Structure 1
Amino acid sequence: MAQERVCVGAIAGAFGVRGEVRLKSFCAEPGAIADYAPLWSEDGTRSFGLRIIRAIPGGFAARLTGIGTKEEADALRGLQLYADRDRLPSLPDDEFYHADLVGLAVFDTGGAEIGRVRAIHNHGAGDILEIFAPGRRHALLLPFTRAVVPTVDLAAGRIIADPPDESPGDADD
């Protein structure tokens, strides 16, 4: 992307017959997604103004500029929406945008490299770091808690983690 952008939501499909969409917000305050418009497609080729119509189960009914029919709205299903980084609020020192963590090197408390963050997942019980390391058959999943991840140093591009001990049957090496 020419300008740094952060994924803030996704289109889940059409809502109604007049071009409204079902919008899933990934923002800490879900309704704030409208404050970050215009929103962009991942490749940066399309931008949309956004107006939230109302809350619905699992997200919002919303209007996007340039989308006027159910068919146009349906065609956007699965589209992830990105906001310009400079439109997003600054975060406190102990909070991070997921986009800032992906790709960071992860070291254990003894200084040995564990791998790199490939993704962050949240299935309702908190964030989980997915760490990929050469030589492992499976990704390492670590809870993103202060106890397991005591240090995130964005300036140095590294995370210090204290993963729980693996039992001998869990090791992939």
Structure 2
Amino acid sequence: MPDELICVGALAGAFGVRGEVRLKSFCAEPEAIGTYSPLCTEDGDRQFTVTLTRPIGNGFAARVSGIETKEQADALKGLKLFAPRDRLPSLPDDEFYYTDLVGLPVSDTGGRVLGTVIAVQNHGAGDLLEIRPDGRETVLLPFTRENVPTVDLSKRAIVADPPEGLFE
């Protein structure tokens, strides 16, 4: 998966009137986003050299190649920025990129398949695995060691010990 793209940030519109943008970083160390430049769109069609200029509330002010006016910066509002996976640091055994978990089957500690991870979300209170059981609505499982004792990427498997009644 060396050419796989990982979402590392998003543009949040203009910052000022001289073409700077507001940049929200999704990196564990937010300022690291600047080291992964050039960044690209999800389809890989457009590339941007990104230079962080200063920290601001909820992110950074940044210069993006090809953007010189407030109107150009505003036109990119909401654009997600991606970096090739091979540019990102490798992680310790107990950490994962969200994209590694999407698509993995989830079984309970007894081996019963609970569903498949379709997304990893975080609404401010911690990570949640969004799991789709066969033919049912999705279930949000808090992604804690207590609820998810095993993630084995080499076997492409997740073992969960969900709270009683969550998958019934």
Q: TM-score, normalised on structure 1?
A: 0.93
Q: Is the 8 Å Cα contact of residues 10 and 23 (structure 2) preserved in structure 1?
A: yes
Cross-structure match for 1:161: 160
Cross-structure match for 1:149: 148
Give CA deviations for 1:55-99 in whole Å, capped at 9, x if unaligned.
Answer: 111111111111111111111111110011111001000000001
Cross-structure match for 2:26: 26
CA RMSD of aligned residues (A): 1.6
Cross-structure match for 1:51: 51
Runs of 4 or more off by more than 4 Å in structure 1? none
Q: CA deviation at 1:123?
A: 1.6
Give CA deviations for 1:9-52 in whole Å, capped at 9, x if unaligned.
Answer: 00111111111111000000000100111111011000111111
Cross-structure match for 2:134: 134
CA distance in 1, matches of 2:69, 2:151: 45
Q: Is the 8 Å Cα contact of residues 67 and 73 (structure 2) preserved in structure 1?
A: yes
Structure 1: tracts of 5 or more residues without a match: none
AA partner of residue 26 (structure 2):
F
Q: Is the 8 Å Cα contact of residues 147 and 161 (structure 2) preserved in structure 1?
A: yes
CA distance in 2, matches of 1:135, 1:97: 27
Write the mapping of 1:1-150 to structure 2, written as runs, cut at 5 A.
3-136=3-136, 138-150=137-149
SS where residue 103 of structure 1 aligns?
A: coil
Structure 2: tracts of 5 or more residues without a match: none
The number of residues matched between the two structures is 168
